[in-house]
Amino acid sequence: MNELNTPLRTIMTPGPVEVDPRVLRAMSTPILGQFDPEFTKIMNENMAMIRELYQTKNHWAYPIDGTSRSGLEAVIASLIQPGDNVLIPIFGRFGHLFAEICERYGALIHTIECPWGEVFDPEDIISEIDRVKPKFVTLVHGETSTGRMQPLEKVGHACRERDVILIVDAVATIGGADVKVDDWCLDAVIGGAQKCLSVPSGIAPITYNDRVEKIILSRKKVERGIATEDDNKQFTSSPIRSNYFDLSQLQDYWSERRLNHHTEATTMNYALREGLRLILEEGLEARFQRHKLHEKALVAGIEAMGLTLFGDPTCKMPTVTCVNVPKGVDPDAVRNTLLNEFGIEIAGSFGSLQGKIWRIGTMGYSCRKENVLFVLAGLEATLIQQGFAVKRGEALQAALQVYALQKKQEVIG
Amino acid sequence: MNELNTPLRTIMTPGPVEVDPRVLRAMSTPILGQFDPEFTKIMNENMAMIRELYQTKNHWAYPIDGTSRSGLEAVIASLIQPGDNVLIPIFGRFGHLFAEICERYGALIHTIECPWGEVFDPEDIISEIDRVKPKFVTLVHGETSTGRMQPLEKVGHACRERDVILIVDAVATIGGADVKVDDWCLDAVIGGAQKCLSVPSGIAPITYNDRVEKIILSRKKVERGIATEDDNKQFTSSPIRSNYFDLSQLQDYWSERRLNHHTEATTMNYALREGLRLILEEGLEARFQRHKLHEKALVAGIEAMGLTLFGDPTCKMPTVTCVNVPKGVDPDAVRNTLLNEFGIEIAGSFGSLQGKIWRIGTMGYSCRKENVLFVLAGLEATLIQQGFAVKRGEALQAALQVYALQKKQEVIG
């Protein structure tokens, strides 16, 4: 087998995106043992930085060792007991994933759907909460399959007033847009590494508050083989079904007790640490503004070349831009040419949107000027090849104008 | 937050162990998208090398994105249905872990135990199989908590004859000792990355045969949100309870269909690829011999300084050496001095062995001459500090003699 030889890509999908070179370098650091005080210090530092990322005072803020959906499943497995009522508003693929996971853990699921490309009016969700009276609501913040972002604040406050637990999938927004866990009254939130954090997939930072912890502790069971007599005195009528995703055990591992569970994924923690450092160095607000700037330039270029955007613009994700595939254009041929000739990756979509839209991500380290300009140039050239009547040369001019205007405003201050 | 600054350790625990520098370098490679043909090629290459590692012709051989126990849980979650009879012979902590996970997935568990420090006579397991008539047997191959290795071959053949499915935890042996999946009739096997593969924790290579696949396929359900009409026609009365660990869905992702599930952990796959390459370059047999050589040197040194080994020597793991803590010596003080003065990490143990033994690993990249010599030197010095009447200067001489003898034999050929 040959040495690893990978081409260098311009990755403009909604994830995984390009990893920041500083994160890549951190990953080549020799490892420490899992109970080495120098490593547990790093675990604590990651907790502190995850809190800042989530703008929360929650004590519990730590990563799950798996991809983003492992974070979703850990929260659901630890919270939802068979027969629990869960309200799941669905506005794209990842709402369905919530339904799928909740169902597997025995929830009675109540789904409401809105057309792909839109989000819910918060009032509609709230009246459904009043009708269904669920114990939990799950909500996707940024739905990458459609590029829409659901406003959370009103729903969060309504849930808190009604003593409903709100679980939020912020996999695609965290680090790229505001996720105000405390201000918005979000009870448990799951973030993704491989999107706006620019860390490789394989670790999922989560946070949850004491309302959530209370449920988790009521289901606690210390692991066979390491439980003490005192541990065994604890009884629960509804143990958590998964061991790997048992947050009551993971909490013990991430607490000063350091009770052994799995072997913490050392290098992924190094990567996460560097990714979080980069975000906090840049500053959350500055980072969100950067994402908005490059989105603006991308959208200006897309529209200038004569393409149209998919979906309701009032709830567009700042980090994902969905483009309608023009009539007569083969969507996969365009993606293949971009990849094979330009080394640029953009995404298609799922389900009813498959073949109808392209999705272009502007996330984390991938979200930078040269990438935006290159994807616009590549897309224009590819569409010309496909025979589409693109407005030649306009896209880059429009994008450059956005950047120039920004520079001017910075000078004026 | 400061830049990552970690001390360099000599890690002589039963995992996680030092990562091979070539693996660390591979991890700083810029990533590819998950459906990039250049990446799916790497996925296929990893499958091919995992097959060689497991000495199997099984088609299914791929990693789970999580730590070793995520591999255990994926296999159990996908195979065990509520009410299934499972026989679990326990000879240490990780047998209990099997029991814990099986119980959580609704199995009727039948455990047999033997004293920690021993393994089972295969005939005893086989008669228990005949008595209990289980659908599954789970067995730990290398039990790091006690340093013992359970012979698998007879049990494997007995299970096959009786149409029982044998699930094996080879987390601590794979890459360090023979695990002959096909010859020994092992149906599903889980390996660890952070032990004899010298890859960081966070990815778990598994393999399983068509007997296992048949059960998995009978429980198959394509995910909500991406299922086609044809997919939805399939019906199962006993769906797999976990989404993240649903091997029927993971199979689709690791097949040419490439049906999207999680976002594959790119960098951990790069690491695994390099770790597997290193093993196959060295050659399985040469690698196992190397592990035995360093074990021999370590044991010679330990005994020469006047310490005794824990457990039945006839079933000792070649990659873990358990040392009795001498009377009057504080086990944690010794470990702390080793770490703080020498930068050497060795391990304690769990449950009834806590405080009674030290465990020294000789695994993967950590399993090399200078590490063995340094841990012996450090241990001797630390014991002298503790006032233990060590036979001064003997340990290194005994170890060096083992290495010299080996060199002589190589010259003679």
The CATH class for the domain spanning A20-279 reads alpha beta
Q: How far is B5 from chain A (nearest CA, A)?
A: 9
Distances (CA, A) of B364 to A284, A318, B20: 41, 46, 8
Q: Which residues pair with B148 in a beta bridge?
A: B143, B316
**Closest to B14 measured CA to CA, from B307, B357, B331, B279:** B357
| Inter-chain Cβ pairs, chain A and chain B, closer than 8 A | 267
> Hey, what amino acid is at A17?
V
What's the pLDDT score for residue A36? Answer: 96
CB within 8 Å: B201 and A239: no
Measured in degrees and rounded to the nearest 5, phi and psi for residue A192 equal -110, 150
- The residue in chain B having the minimum alpha-carbon distance to the alpha carbon of residue A66 is B66
Closest partner CB to B351 (pick from A225, A274, A339)? A225
What's the pLDDT score for residue A223? Answer: 76
Antiparallel, parallel or unpaired: β B85-90 and B108-113: parallel
d(CA B406, CA A89): 68
Q: Which strand (E) or helix (H) includes residue B76? A: helix B68-79
Mean pLDDT of B237-266: 93
What's the pLDDT score for residue A310? Answer: 98
Structure tokens at B317: 């793991």
CB within 8 Å: A69 and B262: yes
3-state secondary structure of B312: coil
Q: How far is B29 from chain A (nearest CA, A)?
A: 7
Distances (CA, A) of B337 to A357, B258, B348, B389: 61, 51, 14, 17
For the cut 80, the answer to whether the pLDDT of residue B31 exceeds it is: yes
- On chain A, the residues whose CB falls within 8 A of the CB of B9 are 30, 32-33, 36
Length of chain B as a residue count: 413
Q: Is the dihedral of CA A271, A276, A281, A285 positive or negative?
A: positive
Do residues B156 and B186 lie in contact, with contact meaning Cβ atoms separated by under 8 Å? yes
- The residue in chain B having the minimum alpha-carbon distance to the alpha carbon of residue A264 is B201
**Closest to A272 measured CA to CA, from A38, A97, A29:** A29
Sketch the domain layout of chain B as residue ranges.
20-279, 284-412
What's the pLDDT score for residue B268? Answer: 98
**Could you give the maximum distance between any two Cα atoms of chain A, in Å?**
75
CB within 8 Å: A263 and B94: no
Taking domain B284-412, whether its CATH number is 3.90.1150.10 is answered by yes
Q: Point out the residues of chain A with pLDDT beneath 70.
A: 226, 232-235
For the segment A352-407, what is each residue's pLDDT rounded down to a tens digit?
Answer: 899 999 999 999 999 999 999 999 999 999 999 999 999 999 999 999 999 999 99
Do residues A30 and B19 lie in contact, with contact meaning Cβ atoms separated by under 8 Å? yes
ipTM of the complex: 0.96
What's the pLDDT score for residue B301? Answer: 98
Q: What contacts A157, CB < 8 A, 6 or more positions away?
A: A184, A185
Q: What is the pTM of this model?
A: 0.96
- On chain B, the residues whose CB falls within 8 A of the CB of A268 are 200, 202, 265, 267-268
Length of chain A as a residue count: 413
CB within 8 Å: B32 and A99: no
d(CA B346, CA B335): 7
For the segment B265-288, what is each residue's pLDDT rounded down to a tens digit?
Answer: 999 999 999 999 999 999 999 999
Closest partner CB to A244 (pick from B8, B34, B69)? B69
Antiparallel, parallel or unpaired: β B136-140 and B148-149: unpaired
What's the pLDDT score for residue A346? Answer: 98
- The confidence band for B235, taking pLDDT boundaries of 50, 70 and 90, is low
Structure tokens at A209: 């508050």
- The confidence band for B237, taking pLDDT boundaries of 50, 70 and 90, is confident
